[in-house]
Amino acid sequence: MDSVLGNWPSYDPHNFSQLRTSDPSRSSKMAPATYHSIHNRDVPPADQVINTEHKNILLREIYRRAEEKIDLIALPSPSQLTPKRAASDNLIPEHGSKQPRVST
Amino acid sequence: MSIWNYVVTAHKPTNVTHSCVGNFTSPQDLNLIIAKCTRVEIHLLTPQGLQPMLDVPIYGRIATLELFRSHGEAQDFLFIATERYKFCVLQWDSETSELVTRAMGDVSDRIGRATDNGQIGIIDPDCRLIGLHLYDGLFKVIPFDNRGQLKEAFNIRLEELQVLDIKFLYGCSKPTIVVLYQDNKDARHAKTYEVSLKDKDFVEGPWSQNNLDNGADLLIPVPPPLCGVLIIGEETIVYCSANAFKAIPIRPSITKAYGRVDPDGSRYLLGDHTGLLSLLVITHEKEKVTGLKIEPLGETSIASTISYLDNAFVYIGSSYGDSQLIKLNQQPDAKGSYVEVLERYVNLGPIVDFCVVDLERQGQGQVVTCSGAYKDGSLRVVRNGIGINEQASVELQGIKGMWSLRSSTDDLFDTFLVVSFISETRILAMNLEDELEETEIEGFCSQVQSLSCHDAVHNQLVQVTSSSVRLVSSTTRELRNEWHAPSGYSINVATANATQVLLATGGGHLVYLEIGDGILQEIKHAQLEYEISCLDINPIGENPNHSNLAAVGMWTDISVRIFSLPDLNLITKEPLGGEIIPRSVLLCAFEGISYLLCALGDGHLLNFLLNTSTGELTDRKKVSLGTQPITLRTFSSKNTTHVFAASDRPTVIYSSNKKLLYSNVNLKEVSHMCPFNSAAFPDSLAIAKEGELTIGTIDDIQKLHIRSIPLGEHARRICHQEQSRTFAICSLKYNPSAEEPETHFVRLLDDQTFEFISTYPLDTYEYGCFIISCSFSDDSNVYYCVGTAYVLPEENEPSKGRILVFAVEDGKLQLIAEKETKGAVYCLNAFNGKLLAAINQKIQLYKWVLRDDGTHELQSECGHHGHILALYVQTRGDFIVVGDLMKSISLLIYKHEEGAIEERARDYNANWMSAVEILDDDIYLGAENSFNLFTVRKNSEGATDEERGRLEVVGEYHLGEFINRFRHGSLVMRLPDSEVGQIPTVIFGTINGVIGVIASLPHDQYVFLEKLQSSLRKVIKGVGGLSHEQWRSFSNDKKTVEARNFLDGDLIESFLDLNRNKMDEVSQAVGVSVEELCKRVEELTRLH
Q: What digits encode the pLDDT tens for the residues B885-925?
A: 999 999 999 999 999 999 999 999 999 999 999 999 999 99
Contact B310 A36 (CB under 8 A): no
- Residue B599 CA to residue B256 CA, distance in Å, equals 54
Average pLDDT over residues B653-665: 86
Say yes or no: B473 and B591 in one domain: yes
Residue B635 and residue B685 in contact, taking contact as beta carbons nearer than 8 Å = yes
Say yes or no: B728 and B789 in one domain: yes
Least Cα separation, residue A70 to chain B (angstroms)? 16
B575 Cβ contact list (under 8 Å, min separation 6): B557, B558, B559
Name the 3-class secondary structure at B1065: helix
Supply the range of the domain harboring residue B46: 16-103
Tell me which of B701, B722, B741 is where a domain ends. B701
pLDDT for res B971:
87
Contact A33 B657 (CB under 8 A): yes
Other beta carbons within 10 angstroms of residue B250's beta carbon come to: 21
pLDDT for res A102:
47
Given a cut of 70, is residue B189 above it in pLDDT? yes
Q: Are strands B323-328 and B313-318 parallel, antiparallel or unpaired?
A: antiparallel
Residue of A2, A3, A4 to mutate, testing the B interface (most B Cβ within 10 Å of its Cβ): A4
pLDDT for res A104:
39
Asked, for residue B751, whether it belongs to a domain, the answer is yes
- Structure confidence by residue, pLDDT tens digits, A64-102: 888 877 766 665 554 444 545 555 444 444 454 444 444
Residue of B101, B198, B281 to mutate, testing the A interface (most A Cβ within 10 Å of its Cβ): B101
Average pLDDT over residues B815-825: 97
Contact B344 A25 (CB under 8 A): yes
Amino acid (1-letter code) at residue B99: L
> What is the value of ipTM here, to two decimals?
0.82
- Residue B852 CA to residue B674 CA, distance in Å, equals 66
Say yes or no: B41 and B127 in one domain: no
Asked, for residue B518, whether it belongs to a domain, the answer is yes
Given a cut of 70, is residue B571 above it in pLDDT? yes
Q: What pTM, to 2 d.p., does this model score?
A: 0.86
Tell me which of B211, B236, B266 is where a domain ends. B211
Return the closest-CA partner of residue B974 out of B393, B351, B356.
B356
Given a cut of 90, is residue B392 above it in pLDDT? no
Closest-CA residue in chain B for A31? Answer: B52
Say yes or no: B803 and B928 in one domain: yes
Contact A19 B261 (CB under 8 A): no
Which of B25-44 are b and which e, b meaning 16 or more Cβ less than 10 Å from the residue's Cβ? beeebbbbbbbbbbbbbbbb
Name the 3-class secondary structure at B465: strand
Say yes or no: B680 and B574 in one domain: yes
What residues in B contact A2, CB-CB < 8 Å? 330
- Structure confidence by residue, pLDDT tens digits, B116-130: 999 999 999 999 999
Amino acid (1-letter code) at residue B669: E
Asked, for residue B391, whether it belongs to a domain, the answer is yes
Amino acid (1-letter code) at residue A78: P
pLDDT for res A83:
47
Return the closest-CA partner of residue B274 out of B635, B698, B736, B709.
B736
Asked, for residue B182, whether it belongs to a domain, the answer is yes
- Residue B350 CA to residue B557 CA, distance in Å, equals 56
pLDDT for res B388:
86
pLDDT for res B976:
57
Residue B418 and residue B668 in contact, taking contact as beta carbons nearer than 8 Å = no
Say yes or no: B369 and B488 in one domain: no
What residues in A contact B109, CB-CB < 8 Å? 52
Specify the higher pLDDT residue, B17 or A63.
B17
pLDDT for res B662:
87
Contact B1023 A42 (CB under 8 A): yes
- Residue B427 CA to residue B441 CA, distance in Å, equals 7
Contact A24 B1058 (CB under 8 A): no
- Residue B103 CA to residue B594 CA, distance in Å, equals 41
- Read off the pLDDT band of B1001 (50, 70, 90): very high
Q: Judging by beta carbons within 10 Å of its beta carbon (0-12, 13-18, 19+), is residue B465 exposed, middle or buried?
A: buried
- Please report, for the domain that includes residue B855, its CATH number: 2.130.10.10
B876 Cβ contact list (under 8 Å, min separation 6): B918, B921
Q: Judging by beta carbons within 10 Å of its beta carbon (0-12, 13-18, 19+), is residue B489 exposed, middle or buried?
A: middle
Say yes or no: B883 and B843 in one domain: yes
Say yes or no: B801 and B934 in one domain: yes
Residue B889 and residue B881 in contact, taking contact as beta carbons nearer than 8 Å = yes
pLDDT for res A66:
86
Torsion of CA B980, B985, B990, B994, to 10 degrees: 10
Given a cut of 80, is residue B977 above it in pLDDT? no
pLDDT for res B940:
86
Residue B882 and residue B873 in contact, taking contact as beta carbons nearer than 8 Å = yes
Measured between its terminal Cα atoms, the distance across chain A in Å is: 91
Residue B342 and residue B320 in contact, taking contact as beta carbons nearer than 8 Å = no
Eight-class DSSP state of B302? P
Asked, for residue B1019, whether it belongs to a domain, the answer is no
Helix (H) or strand (E) holding B1019: helix B1003-1019
Residue B593 and residue B658 in contact, taking contact as beta carbons nearer than 8 Å = yes
- Read off the pLDDT band of B805 (50, 70, 90): very high
What residues in B contact A9, CB-CB < 8 Å? 261-263, 308, 310
Q: Which of B55, B295, B343 shows the shortest C-beta gap to A24?
A: B343
pLDDT for res B659:
83
What residues in B contact A5, CB-CB < 8 Å? 279, 295, 297, 328-330, 338
Contact A19 B1025 (CB under 8 A): no
Say yes or no: B379 and B394 in one domain: no
pLDDT for res B975:
61
pLDDT for res A93:
47
Asked, for residue B1079, whether it belongs to a domain, the answer is no
Asked, for residue B934, whether it belongs to a domain, the answer is yes
Q: Which of A5, A38, A51 shows the shortest C-beta gap to B1058?
A: A38
- Measured CA to CA in angstroms, residue B635 lies from B404, B535, B705 at distances of 11, 18, 20
Name the 3-class secondary structure at B1083: helix
Given a cut of 90, is residue B757 above it in pLDDT? yes
What residues in B contact A53, CB-CB < 8 Å? 152-154
Asked, for residue B6, whether it belongs to a domain, the answer is no
Q: Which of B142, B155, B344 shows the shortest C-beta gap to A57?
A: B155
Closest-CA residue in chain A for B292? Answer: A4
- Give Dmax (Cα) for chain A: 99
pLDDT for res B979:
67
- Measured CA to CA in angstroms, residue B821 lies from B409, B804, B824, B837, B868 at distances of 76, 11, 7, 10, 17
What residues in B contact A10, CB-CB < 8 Å? 310-311
What residues in B contact A50, CB-CB < 8 Å? 87, 103-107, 142, 150-153
Q: How far from the centroid of its chain's Cα atoms is residue A20's Cα?
A: 46
- Total residues found in chain A within this entry: 104
What residues in B contact A35, CB-CB < 8 Å? 54-57, 99, 1023
Contact A15 B281 (CB under 8 A): no
What residues in B contact A8, CB-CB < 8 Å? 261, 311-312, 328
Say yes or no: B805 and B664 in one domain: no
Share of chain B above pLDDT 70, in %: 99
Name the 3-class secondary structure at A98: helix
Q: Name the domain count of chain B.
A: 4
List, edge to edge, every strand of the sheet that includes B879-884: B870-876, B879-884, B889-895, B900-906
Average pLDDT over residues B1009-1038: 96
Say yes or no: B740 and B841 in one domain: yes
- Residue B768 CA to residue B787 CA, distance in Å, equals 6
Dihedral sign, CA of B498, B504, B510, B513?
negative
pLDDT, averaged across chain B: 94
- Structure confidence by residue, pLDDT tens digits, A21-79: 665 544 555 678 899 999 888 899 999 999 998 888 888 888 888 887 776 666 555 44
Helix axes B1074-1085, B1003-1019, angle to 10 degrees: 110
Tell me which of B659, B683, B701 is where a domain ends. B701
Q: Which of A24, A32, A39 shows the shortest C-beta gap to B54?
A: A32
Q: Are strands A49-50 and B98-106 parallel, antiparallel or unpaired?
A: parallel
Say yes or no: B828 and B817 in one domain: yes
- Structure confidence by residue, pLDDT tens digits, B726-752: 999 999 999 877 788 899 999 999 998
Helix (H) or strand (E) holding B1016: helix B1003-1019
Taking one residue from A and the other from B, the number of pairs with CB-CB distance under 8 angstroms is 198
What residues in B contact A61, CB-CB < 8 Å? 157
Q: Which of A11, A28, A29 shows the shortest C-beta gap to B310?
A: A11
pLDDT for res B758:
96
Q: How far from the centroid of its chain's Cα atoms is residue B722's Cα?
A: 26
| φ, ψ of residue B217 in degrees (nearest 5) | -145, -10
- Structure confidence by residue, pLDDT tens digits, B76-128: 999 999 999 999 999 999 999 999 999 999 999 988 999 999 999 999 999 99
What residues in B contact A16, CB-CB < 8 Å? 45, 47, 49, 309-311, 313, 327
